[in-house]
Each structure stands twice: as structure tokens, then as C-alpha cells.
Chains A and B, each alone.
Chain A
Amino acid sequence: MPKRKVGALEKLDADLASLQYKLRRDPLSYKNDFIVQYRQYDAQRQIFLSAPTTANEASTISFRELVEFVAHVADCYPTECAEFPQQLIEILARHHTDLESELCEKIVGSLVLLRKKDLIDSSVLLHTLFPILTSTPRKTLRALVFQKILSDLRQSNSKGTNHKLNRTVQTVLFNIVTADRTSTQALWAVKLTRELWKRHIWTESKAVEVMKECCLADNEKVVAAGVRFFLGGDKEREELEESSDDEDAIDMGKIKHQMGVNKKTKKRAKALEQAAEKVKRKEKKKNQPHPLNFSAFHLLNDPQGFTEVLFSKHLQNTKSKLRLEQKLQVLQLATRLVGLHKLTILSLYSWFVKYLTPKQHSVTSFLASLAQGTHNLVPPDVLEPLIQKIANEFVSEASAAEVASAGLNAIREICVRQPLAMNESLLKDLVMYKKSKDKGVVMAARGLLALYRDVNPEMLSRKDRGKDATIGIRSGEHKEQRFGEEKVGEIDGLDLLEKWKEEERARKQAETGIEEADGEEEEDDAAWEVESNSDSDDSGGWINVGSDDEIEISDSEDERPRTKKAKTEASSEGTIPAEDKENAAELEKRISTLAMTKILTPADLAKLQELRLEASLNKALPTAQRKRLAAQAALQNRHVDDPLTATEIEGLAALSKKATREDKIAKAKEGKGERGEYKSTKAVKQATKQASGKSTTNKEKARKKNFLMTLGKAKGKSKRSLVDKSKVLRAHKEREKRGGRRGNY
């Protein structure tokens, strides 16, 4: 064939990329060209479909390119490409197992592209991709499909929660999990749910339901994954939030400085504006009230039934194939649910008996789980044999110090949650260990002692009770708590808030008008404040019962009337003289009306928190005592959602062994930052100052100035007049007296 002359315009079109570019610029004019290429795509598709299994990479390359091309311009010609998505879906569904890998990936990518262009909707896409995810034997394809599914879900939830889509996807996942309980396909459901949970995209109970089904699967891997979600999912979520906060922090100062130094262009000005906007938005977001994030435990539907099945299926069942670590995780989950929701599973406690020996592998985890699974509604007679067994097996003179301290600690943790489980003689025995030689054991025994001094001092021998408790017993303040007795809930520190509000009101009144009554009233307020402070002193350390707190916060919207906690009442009755009792009652009444009549705003709650903190610190107590109280409060304030771990049980064992030199050094270095080479503290400080982008002082600049540059000035010295010289000398004398240029003046 003779060589044909080719026009410039034709030449350009000899590749799809340039044609695609032109099409996107002006779809109408190039419609003919598109139609030709669409026919070409169709022909290639037919060729491919005539022998889909034998197609290799070389033969499908043009088909692949055409698929990509059509997907990119499909939005310009919606009527022409009406069947295109369906064709791709069909190819993928029928041939995904033997499709050439690159073509397969291209088709998946094109489908996602079509989704982005809104030519197909999310549910169609997900319904196409899910079967592939669970059935394809190809690893790379699975990874790709998973990533695409995830990004699509994120995308469609980015502007607002797409409830409809979420619900359908969750149903699909639920069906995957429940359809075949022995298969590992459910792992994909776990993976997806966990990822979306972590990113705050799925926060509803349906997602938790999927994970719940996973926990009850027959496959060990699926069970482990499901349990791990419950134990770690929320923490993961928080961590991600924190890390994302740190990541894209914009240093406004730096950007502003750069603006000052660099050439001013519109682009840079715009960038600055955008950065400012972003920072502002972020600040706003930070100040917003925290979105209500229920942990997965709280969103569980029917925790009692779930925990029962979990326990009987994986723990009680002797045929369960779980490994010990997996079993421990299941146990942790089950006991946490029991503790959190105050469930009643009596067989759980008898099941524990055989594991409570020092020789049991990772016994501290078992002890922690036991303590975690105890709450005040567990019958004491169920727990008593367990405590007895722990005491017999762990706590004896013959056993190692670590073992004894772990045992005592475990007993204490159990008794914190259910004090009635202890009997008097055993307690007396255990308290005797405070005279042990080992420090860890001593601390553990003292912990137990301190607990019972507070909870039920009558069980202790007279000399162990301590001053406060003895006084308490004599005055009849200490009442033994009965089984099943619940404290009356209240908002901790509400009285403080009300007082503060009243104060504010008075101050405002004073400012506006009545001058005379001012001083008197303030004095009154002050007196009242002192009184109430001492009042909350007694209660401050010990009142915080976390679980009640949590419940109150969750249903604070409907603002039920709250009365003061029974215990506070009791303590206030103890301290306030009899004639003031009426006063106290009146006070209490007023307090209860505050929560009843007003809805507490976030600002109120913030102030409440502040006042609470202030009240716990602002005491006329010696520092050591205050510190001790604060530590105790911190221990008590452990959130009820937080798990009790083996490390907490083992904690005191560290005291038993003597610290080596290395340990001591490590401990000393703990809080301090990294220090590569030897440097003075000053040098370190200066380095950090410079690193944070701050400048040096004039003095530092002068000191660092190049010597040669200072020479010229020094030369002038010799030409000074006599008067000048004498001035300098005098100044020198003066300086000497002060102790140098940088002396102490």
C-alpha cells in the first residue's frame, strides 16, 4: 500500500488518550468518534467473550484500554453507554476467576469510576463486588476489591451518613456471617466492620450485631476476630482520632512568617487564607460538644443472651477448639459484659474454680477476668468459695511473694465490686499479711485493709479499723450495705454548681444596684462555701461510682429528677451538728430542684467539672495527704468501661523484687526526653527554642557575631577621648561590683 498523507488532526487521534482529552472538552462535536470507539469496544468485547478463558495479556490489551476509555468518557454520552456498566458487571461476575489479572483490575477500577461519575449507584457496585470479595481465589484482587469497597463506603458517607446504603451493606455482611458459620468468609465482614467502626462511619447497633454474630461463629479465626473487635475496637477508634489530630496540624505562625519573607502572590495569599480557614474550622470542631460515642458494649442488643451463649459455646463447652489465648480473650469479653451490664451467669463462677491455681498458665488474666466479672448483684455465696480458693492456693507463707501479692490483689479487686463475698475470719487472716517481710505483699494486704476500713470496718479487728472508721462506727454513720441495695443516684458536685450560680447572681445584683447589702452577702457566701467544702471533703475521695455516672450521662437528656446520693447524705449528717440538720434538708431540696428545673448546658457541665476538680484540690490539707487522696481518687475514677487487665493484678509484684541498677536508671530516665550527646540544659533549651521556629535574643546574636566583623569597632577604642575612657572604666568598676555583665542585679 502506498504511503498515505496523514493530516495533523488525524495523527493526533491515533491514540486513545488524546481522543479522550478532546472528547471531554467537547463531547458534542466528537460524538461520531466516540460512537466509532464504542463499536470498537463492543467488537473487542465480543471477541473476548468468544474465548474468555484463553485470552492472555497481549490479546486483551486493546480491550483493556477501550474499557478504560469508555469508562472515562461515559458521563458525556449517557444514552450511548447505557448498557456499559451492566456489561462490565456481567463480565466480572461470570469470569472473575479466570479473567486475566490486569483486565480484571481494570474492570473493577472502571466500575468504581462509573460510581464516582454517578452512572451506577453504590448498592449496585457493592452487590457486584461483595460476591467477588468472598469467592475469588486471587489475593491481589481481593485486596483491591476490599479497598474499593471501603473507599466507596467512606465516600458515600462523607457528606452525611447514608443510612440506607449502610443498612443494606450491614445486612449483606450479616448474611455472610450467618449463612455459613464454619467458613472464614466472615472474616471479611469483620475486617470491613472494624475498619468502618474505627473511622466513625458505622456507629450503630446493626454493625455491633454483625460482630456479635461473628463472636458466635464456629470458626476459631472468626471468633477471635470478633472478640478482638469488642475488646479493642473502641480503643482503636480513639487512637485514630488522636493521631489524625496530630497529623495535619498547621503551624499558622510559620505560614504567616513565610508570607512576610516570600514574594507576595495571589496564590500564596489564597493558600494562607485557606490555611486560616482550616485552622478555624478545626478549632471550631474541637470546641464542639463531643459526639455521643457509645462503645460497642453499650450498643449490644440482649447482652445477657449473648454472654450466655458465648460462655456456653466457647468456654464451658469441652469440645470447643479455641486455643488458650483465644479462650482468654473470649473470657475477657464475657466477663466484661457481665461486669458492665450486671448480668447474672452463675455457672461462670463455678467454671472458674479449676483455673485458679498458681500453676495455671497466665493465671493473672484469669484472676483479672474473675474480678471483672464480679458486680454487686452476684450472690456472695457463689463468690465465697472462689475467694477461699484463691486465699488457699495463692496466699500463704510458703508461696512466692509475687504469687501472694497477686492473690491478695485479686481478692481485693473482687471485694471492691462485691464486699459481701468476704467472711470475717478470712479477712482477719489476710490482713495479717501486712506484717509480711515482702513489700509487694504488704502493699496488697494494706489495700485490702483500706478497702474494708471504708466498706465494712466491723469485719476488721478493733486495732485495724483506724481512727476514721472507729469514729464512724461509734457515731452510727457506717451502715453495712445489704445485698442488692443500690445507692440513690445523683450528679456529683451539683451542689457546688448551684452555689456558684447563686454567687454569680449575687455578684451581678451587687454590680447593678444594691451596694449596701453587698459585703454582708459575700461574707455569707464565703462562710457557706467553707462549710460545703469541708462537706464534700469527706465524700470527695470515695463517692465516685463510675457506673452510675455513665448511666446518668447517657440519659441526661430527659432530665429526671435526681436526689442526693444516700452516702453523701449520711456523711453530711455525720459532720453537721444536729441543729443544722433541718438546714441540710432544705439545702438538699434546693439542689434537687436545680437539675429538675433546668437543663444543664455544656457550659454548665464544664463548670461543674471545673468546680469538682477545684473542690478536690482546694483543701486545707497537708501536701502529702492531698497527694495520697488524689491518687486514690484517680484509682477510683477508672472508667467503668476500661477493662481490668492482668497487669493491674500483677502490679504490686514489681515491689517484691529488688530493682537492679539498670531498672533504676531506666526509671530515672523515664520522664525525661531523649538526650543524644552531652549538652548543658541551656543548650538543650536553646535547641528546642530554635526548633520551634523562634528567634534568638540580641545578646545571643552579639555573642555569636563573627570576630572579624567586630574588629573595626574595637579599633576605634584607641581613639577615644579621655572622658570616654574614664566613663568606660567607671562602668567597668560598677559592673565588677554587681558581679559581671550578666550578674545578679
Chain B
Amino acid sequence: MAPSKAKNKDFQKTKLKVGKAKPKPGNYTNTSFKAKRVTIKQQSLGIDAPSLQSQFEHHVSILSSASDTQRKESLSWLETALATKTLTWSAPSLLDKLLPLLQDANGAVRNKLIKTLRALSKERLEFLAEKILLHVCAGMTNININIRASALEILGWAIDACGVELVECRGGWFNTLKTYLVVLGWSTIGESSTGWSTNMALAGDTKNIVRALDTLTAFLRLGMIDAGSKAAEREPQADWWSSTLQIHAQPDPYRGLNLMGYDSEGDYSFTRDATHRREIFLSQFRSKFEAGILEIRKQAGEAGRAAAKTSSVVVETMTEADESKVLQDSWAQKMEARTRHIQDRIWTQGFAETCY
């Protein structure tokens, strides 16, 4: 019997053709691979579980991972770990990793971030107020409205966590207020514009407006009303020795010397005290804020109520300003009288000397 066709095939010689690749043999194994990464199934063969600290470091490093779920999971791990366990971490480097997530495109990641931040212990966070505020301001002006909302939420947390330092730090007062103006769409109030404006800032979303106004109220209160009393608390006793020789407990005690050569004017400047901030607010922001608040109050509802609260803070500020102005005026009068007295004395002395 003739061999079957299939069997015959095995013994046939394959024809080689010019310009064609050589046919592969039957037992050929394809060893090429396309993956950019090689995944090894067993990564760690150690018997001991990784220590808590190394796990922490691992999760912190994953925070900048490309995958959403990974970021989210490591954030949730961090959240629980920070709340329950004792870990050694440096706030600046951790926040360096955490804060960029504020502008994360994924909402779930941002929500987790807020929770994680809340889990952080608040001590010594005031040292990082400037950094936090920079990221918050960036988030507040993000093109994505959801990110803006998250940023506002984090600002609320920051007001709690950092306290007065938030308004005293570089750019803390002026820049934040300016950002508020822009975000609420009040920056162009009073300008005559021929175009119709959509005012995409936060318009149409009451929830966001309420959130913005709430944080604004808290921020203004912190900057102009609470700060005065707090600063008075913090002020060292009128002991001349301790006030001159002791290093202050506040962050950046030598701020007054301006060692870094920052501008004393402009968006990113220091605001020394509540009176200074009040001055800035009254001179540069009041009119626009008042106009904007009035407009929102007209809408009534939840937003209107929030606006009413804000306006009450503004009013309070103004009365306080008046008071301090009265105080200041009296002080100025006193000073004037004193200088005049001194001048008189000098003059009379000089006169006496010349006579002599």
C-alpha cells in the first residue's frame, strides 16, 4: 500500500525560493517577545514579611505610578497606616509625593488623597503651609472643575492644619485671595466687556460655590479676625531679652530679614500681621468681593446663605479695621506729639549751644 498523503508530507523536501524567508521547521519554537517589561512571578523569596517601614516606603514610591488603581490603593494603605501605626516619616518629602496627586485626573484618587491628608498628624504641618498653598492654588484654577472642587476641600483641611501660618507665609494672603477672585469669576467685575461671558469658573454648580464660599469665609476669618488674637497669644512676653535673643518658635523666624531676596511687593509677598492683611484686603479686594457676594446673595438658597456668612466676615473686618484705625490714629497722634517734643528739645539745645 502506498503511504498516506499526510505521512508522505513529512519526508518531502521543502522547496527553497529566492527572496522568500526559509520555511520554519515543524518543531520551531518562537522565542521572540514583545513585552517591554518582564514580569517575574516570584519577586521576593524572603521568609520574613517586609517591615512596616519598608512597606510604607514602597507605597510612597508607588504614589507616582501610572495606574490609577495602584495610586488609589497605596493611598488607602497610607491612610490606614498613618492613622493607626507609628511610622517615621518626614513631612516635606511625603507631601512632595502627595500634593501633586491633588491634580490627579481620577476622582477616586483625589478623594482618597483628601482622606489621607486628614489622617496626617497636624503637628509641624505649618512649616509646609507655603508648599501646600501653591498646590492648592494650582488645583483651584485647574481646567477640570472636579479638580477645583477637590482643591477647595483640601484648602479647608489646610486651614485647619496649618493655622495662621497659611495666611502669613509667602504668597499666602495676596495670592490666595487673587485666586479666589479668579475662581469665583469676580476678577473682571466692573470691567466693561463687549463679549458675552460664559464665566465657566464655578458657575452652575451650587455645591461648588457653597464650598468655595465656605472656605473663603474661613480663610478670611483666619487671616483678619482670628489671626490677630492668635498672634497676640503667640507674642512673647514683653521681656526685652527674650524677644531679642531668643529664636522665635514660628517657622522661618528670620523672615523679616528677607534672606532669600523675595519681592516684598506683588503676589508672592509676606504679610506680616492681621492689620497688614486687612489693609491689603480693604484696599485691593473689598470692592470686587462685595460686588460678587451681592450677586450670589441675590440668588438666595444655599449659595445665598453661604454668601451671607462671607459678607458678615467682611463687615466684621471693616468694623475691626475702624477700631484699629482709631487706635492707630491715637497712637500716631501720640507719636507725633512725642517727636515734636523731641524736636523742640533738640532745637532749643542747639540754640542754647550756639548762644553759648
Contacts and interface: CB of A to CB of B under 8 A. Distances in A.
Interface of A: 1, 4, 6-7, 9-10, 13-16, 19, 26-33, 35-37, 39-40, 42-44, 46-47, 50-51, 58-59, 62
A26 B188 CA distance: 16
A14 B197 contact: no
15 contacts: A4-B205, A6-B145, A10-B145, A19-B143, A28-B195, A30-B197, A31-B188, A32-B201, A33-B201, A35-B187, A39-B178, A40-B138, A40-B141, A43-B137, A62-B103
Nearest to A47: B134
Contact of B193 (A28, A43, A46): A28
B100 A59 contact: yes
B64 A58 contact: yes
Given A32-B185, A35-B187, A46-B171, A40 B142 contact: yes
B200 to A, nearest CB: 5
B196 A29 contact: yes
Given A26-B195, A35-B187, 15 more contacts: A1-B146, A4-B146, A10-B145, A14-B144, A28-B193, A29-B196, A32-B182, A32-B197, A33-B198, A36-B182, A37-B141, A39-B137, A43-B179, A46-B134, A46-B171
Interface of B: 64, 96, 100, 103, 107, 111, 131, 134-135, 137-138, 141-146, 149, 171, 178-179, 182-183, 185, 187-188, 193-201, 204-205, 207, 267-268
A238 to B, nearest CB: 47
A7 to B, nearest CB: 7
B171 A30 contact: no
Contacts of B193: 28-29, 31
Interface centre among A6, A46, A62 (most CB of B within 10 A): A46
Interface centre among A7, A19, A40 (most CB of B within 10 A): A40
A10 B146 CA distance: 11
Given A32-B197, A36-B141, A37-B141, A43 B100 contact: no
Contacts of B267: 42
A100 to B, nearest CB: 15
A229 to B, nearest CB: 45
Contacts of B171: 46
B134 A35 contact: no
A62 B149 CA distance: 19
Contacts of A9: 198, 200
A272 B144 CA distance: 49
Main secondary structure of the interface of B (DSSP, over half): loop
Contacts of B146: 1, 4
A32 B100 contact: no
A598 to B, nearest CB: 66
Q: Which 10 A-B pairs have the closest CB atoms?
A: A28-B195, A29-B195, A43-B138, A40-B141, A39-B141, A43-B137, A39-B182, A36-B141, A46-B134, A47-B134
A423 B44 CA distance: 97
Nearest to B202: A36
A29 B204 contact: no
A62 B105 CA distance: 12
A39 B143 contact: no
B138 A47 contact: yes
A36 B200 CA distance: 10
B283 to A, nearest CB: 20
B204 A7 contact: yes
A35 B182 contact: yes
Given A4-B146, A46-B134, A59-B100, A39 B179 contact: yes
Contacts of B199: 32
Contact of B143 (A15, A26, A35): A15
B138 A44 contact: yes
A14 B146 CA distance: 10
Nearest to A62: B103
Given A4-B205, A40-B142, A58-B64, A31 B135 contact: no
Nearest to B135: A47
B3 to A, nearest CB: 52
B200 A16 contact: no
B39 to A, nearest CB: 22
Nearest to B153: A1
Contacts of B205: 4
Contacts of B198: 9, 29-30, 32-33
Contacts of A7: 204
B145 A36 contact: no
Contacts of B268: 46
A29 B197 contact: yes
A31 B195 contact: yes
Contacts of B107: 1
Contacts of A44: 138
Contacts of B183: 36
B74 to A, nearest CB: 16
A39 B148 CA distance: 13
Nearest to A16: B143
Contacts of A15: 143
Interface centre among B182, B194, B195, B267 (most CB of A within 10 A): B182
A50 B134 contact: yes
Contact of B197 (A31, A39, A62): A31
Contacts of B100: 59
A30 B187 CA distance: 13
B205 to A, nearest CB: 7
Nearest to B186: A32
A37 B148 CA distance: 12
Contacts of A59: 100
Contacts of B196: 29
B101 to A, nearest CB: 11
A345 B204 CA distance: 88
A42 B171 CA distance: 12
A390 B137 CA distance: 85
A246 to B, nearest CB: 38
A233 B201 CA distance: 59
B263 to A, nearest CB: 12
Contacts of B142: 40
Nearest to B187: A35
Contacts of A26: 195
